Amino acid sequence: MHCRVFFSIVVLLLAVGCGQPQRAAPPVSPSHPTSGLASPTAGGASPSAASIPTIPAGMGATSFVLVDRTNAGDSSHYKLALVGIDGRLIKVLTPEEPSINQSEPNLGSPPLVSISNNRVYYLDGDSTIGFIARDGSKGLATTLPGGPQKLVSFAVSPDDARIAVAIFDYASGGPSVSIIVQDLVGGGKQVGLYTSASNAEWPVGWVQGKLVLAVGPSQEGQPSGFDPFPAPNPYNATGGYQLVDAASGQVLDTIPSQCAFGLLVARGTPCARSGGGVGVRDWGGNTTWYTKSTQANFSTREALSVDGTVAANSTANSVGLFHNGSKADSIPGVTGSAVAMGWVDASHLVVRHFNGPPTVTIVDTKAGTSVDVGLTCGPSTASVPCTDAVMLGTF
């Protein structure tokens, strides 16, 4: 029996000479895929890839995605839920965990879920990528080369045209990691971006046609001290991010771990520093630290607002709001121990409460009201409230 702690996110690695990571690999012919990727099956026509928009920021969002990898001790499955802004459960699925996650002592680090502008994609078992559409319908998007010794992770572009795939190969103990990008439907235009026998990176999002890679260990760590999470972001990117060219793998920006404190949004990624203080790093590589934010010195997770100007972060009074030059030490509707996970829109904030059993709550920061999310986990014959649900984005 292996330990399942909180939540994770997954994928990567492939052996190369001298163990050094390799980037900007030459394009791979779609008819001779060296990665072993299966050609995607058509799960509906894909929109044109003429222009790839930014990471969905929650503009006009009416729902969000929760994932509970612990699933109340059911180690063979995880819980995936599409939740309305009113707390209503729109769709709840229980996909199968990959084989490698059921046999290793810890879960793999990369996510098993990716959100585009039109669908929520999820890994079901070792290789199947399913999707949920906005109307609640679901289907098969593609298959990936996972298996008993291979863990796959992925990020689909916002327009559903391209998919970045990381493969963690444990055949030699490893894992070794490789990352490629190809068309979601048909598997064409395949390009190799990264290989390494020792350093793990995996795709977690797209921004303005570029790819965001998480950096960290191949398997998630353990929570420590008062921190309920194994990492300060839902991607397990303990080493920060690399922003890379999606066609060549060239690194365009190296984002440090102090700017990997929550969900990625269209404007950038939230930052927090030791001793107190929060801010934002935009996708142009500029970091802005907010004045009057030193009270935000309990950083475990940080939620950057839809427009990228307000950071919700833990304070001595539970959760506070920090803008550059202003602050609110507490939010009406949030009391006791809580951690901000993400914004759905300009006023609705999703938090995890820890006053009793961990509970996901949607807070209307303007009205000062809140509603708990009634998601249950575990085998269908013994369902209990989910305690380790983590927000992965808006939809």
Q: What confidence score (pLDDT) does residue 19 get?
A: 52
Q: Using one digit for the tens of pLDDT, what is the confidence trace for 306-333?
A: 888 899 987 776 788 888 888 887 787 7
Q: What confidence score (pLDDT) does residue 49 get?
A: 32
- Give the residue among 254, 256, 352, 337 at the shortest CA–CA distance from 303: 352
Q: What confidence score (pLDDT) does residue 10 get?
A: 32
Q: Using one digit for the tens of pLDDT, what is the confidence trace for 134-163?
A: 877 899 999 999 999 999 999 999 999 999
The residue-averaged pLDDT of 177-188 equals 94
Q: Where are the domains of the chain?
A: 17-394
Bond before 175 cis per omega within 30 degrees: yes
The residue-averaged pLDDT of 31-38 equals 31
In sequence order, which ranges of the chain are alpha helices (DSSP H)?
99-103
Q: What confidence score (pLDDT) does residue 222 get?
A: 67
Q: What confidence score (pLDDT) does residue 136 get?
A: 76
pTM score of the predicted model: 0.85
Q: What confidence score (pLDDT) does residue 394 get?
A: 95
CA dihedral 321→322→328→330, nearest 10 degrees, is 40
Q: What is the DSSP string of 256-299?
A: -GGG-SS--BTTEEEEE-TTS-EEEEETTS-EEEPTT-TT----
Inform me whether the pLDDT recorded for 29 exceeds 80.
no
- Give the residue among 389, 299, 289 at the shortest CA–CA distance from 83: 389
Residue scoring higher pLDDT (30 or 234):
234
What are the angstrom distances between the C-alpha of 140 and each of 12, 82, 159, 163? 23, 17, 17, 14
At 240 the three-state DSSP class reads: coil
Q: What confidence score (pLDDT) does residue 223 get?
A: 64
The residue-averaged pLDDT of 205-219 equals 94
What CATH class does 17-394 carry? Answer: mainly beta
**Across all residues in the chain, what is the average pLDDT?**
82
By residue count, the chain amounts to: 395
What are the angstrom distances between the C-alpha of 204 and each of 11, 44, 55, 358, 382? 10, 23, 10, 25, 33
